[in-house]
Amino acid sequence: MSRSTSYSSSSASHGGLSFPMLNEHFHTLPPTLGATTEARLQQHRRRLSLRDSSLVISTALSGTAWLATATMTDIVLYDLNSQDRTQDFKPQREIPIKMDSKYEKIRAIAISDHLLAVVTHCRLLVYEYAQDGEENLVDDVRIDVNQSWTPKSVAILQAKYSSNIPQTDVACIAVGGEGVNGVKLFKFSKATCWTAHRNHRIILKCHSATSSIRDVGFSQFIHANRFVVFGVTSDNRIMCWDVCSDGSSAPTVLRGWVVDSDAGRSSLSHRAEITSVSIFDSPSGRPYLFCAVNQKHGSQQLRSCVVPLNRESINLCSDAVSLPSQVAGRHVLAGAVSSNGRFLVTVQENSMKLSTLRGAYQGGVTCLESHLDWHSPLKGTAKDMTGISLFLKEGQSRLEITAVDGRGHLSFATISTPCVPISQSLSLGPRLRRMTPELAAEPIIRELDGEGMADEIVVRLG
């Protein structure tokens, strides 16, 4: 019989927090470590220099155990479920990308259960991939606005669509880039095949001081057709947009805000580096943001933390409650939270750790100091290379963890999680009523973009 422990948190504020800390009360169920395995990708046998065009600059993992790696010119796909984990993993197939010019290179990739997104210096390419057969090019669109905007990062949110029309899946693809046009959001749907919605594209505006969105992603939840898009800037700010999108119409931005209100006062060298962000629901259904930090410059100002997502700015350096040092040390290379909001996994130097989230006594969510850990071969990569990918898959009484780095190291772990519920699949439904946008610091405006993106909604962050 599994032993459960109940923790509750008060609604009092802590450490000068400018927002109320929410009362959390849920049972924790102790996990146990099962099998762990380390492996390598076959194409990574030789040591590569940073100038080598064969260097892996981006990796991505899907929920169906497909792995994609990207060099500056090619994509390689691996079917992890069909491999012998005692041997080097063999590529399933390669996807050469035909460039429009000699200056065009791949910048980043993302993968979902059905789609592969590739951003270059000037284009977004979207493929439908399958276990058997060739890839189908769904969209190839130029997004650099006549070389005035450079893509940096990409992410995919794929969900089921619940309606009476023959449309089974919906996907939003976010592309992060430079300047005030920080994130561009694209929409796709599937009936018999995947189709791009050219008139359902919007731009999520950033403050004019933003340099670039080096990492972009989505919340792990959708509530009443609403989800959160986030972007991590090159100067270590976290920006969020509350987005509403049903299965058949263009997304609508309800609100945008900068999470860290004090980020502009500290330079990157003094604030370390935000390596991962997860936006998730706690078991009680309240939204939180997990921020993983690598203090590679020796900074003590910003530590890995979990904070309530109250759609208001806070100061991550002074207001956030840091995670216990036993769980998240100074050098967190990557991190993620399980979709059910119960477990947190971090990749650190030579180790991976799994922690159990609980209600904090002072309010909000933290994690138990006791944790599971095992050896990790994963290493960090050079700046501006999204080398480490981490995926947590919930199963019946288990959590499967897969991680990969840009050097070709793979790490697998199975965690026994008795009686822990499995999260429901993400889904979008038909629009029930017209949403009234919540006004941000500046009004929401509509405009037509020079790229031909019609009926755009942009939110300026103050």
If you average pLDDT over residues 195-220, what whole number do you get? 87
The pLDDT score that the predictor gives to residue 211 is 76
Distance of CA 362 to the CA centre of its chain: 28
Q: What percent of the chain has pLDDT over 90?
A: 45
Of 184-193, 224-233, 266-275, 397-406, give the lowest mean pLDDT range. Answer: 266-275
The pLDDT score that the predictor gives to residue 399 is 95
**How far, in Å, CA of 221 to CA of 159, rounded?**
10
Domain ranges, ordered by start, for the chain:
53-258+432-462
If you average pLDDT over residues 318-339, what whole number do you get? 86
Over 80: is that where the pLDDT of 398 sits?
A: yes
Average pLDDT in the chain: 81
Who's near 148: CB < 8 A, 6+ residues apart? none
Angle at 64 between CA 2 and CA 290, to 5 degrees: 60
Over 70: is that where the pLDDT of 306 sits?
A: yes
The pLDDT score that the predictor gives to residue 261 is 57
The pLDDT score that the predictor gives to residue 209 is 60
Measured between its terminal Cα atoms, the distance across the chain in Å is 52
CA distances from 117 to 47, 173, 345 (A): 27, 8, 25
If you average pLDDT over residues 358-376, what whole number do you get? 89
Over 80: is that where the pLDDT of 272 sits?
A: no
Q: What percent of the chain has pLDDT over 70?
A: 77
CATH number for the region 53-258+432-462 comes to: 2.120.10
The pLDDT score that the predictor gives to residue 161 is 85
Of 17-26, 54-63, 71-80, 242-251, give the lowest mean pLDDT range. Answer: 17-26
Q: Coil, helix or strand for 271?
A: helix
Task: Assess contact for 402 and 62: CB atoms under 8 A.
Answer: no
**How far, in Å, CA of 195 to CA of 189, rounded?**
5
Over 90: is that where the pLDDT of 432 sits?
A: no
Residues paired with 106 in a beta bridge: 120
pLDDT in tens, 107-148: 999 999 999 999 999 999 999 997 676 789 999 999 987 778
Of 30-39, 271-280, 360-369, 423-432, give the lowest mean pLDDT range. Answer: 423-432
If you average pLDDT over residues 185-212, what whole number do you get? 85
Of 15-24, 187-196, 431-440, give the lowest mean pLDDT range. Answer: 431-440
Of 92-101, 159-168, 340-349, give the lowest mean pLDDT range. Answer: 159-168
pLDDT in tens, 47-82: 444 455 568 899 999 999 999 999 999 999 999 998
CA distances from 344 to 67, 222, 356 (A): 21, 20, 6
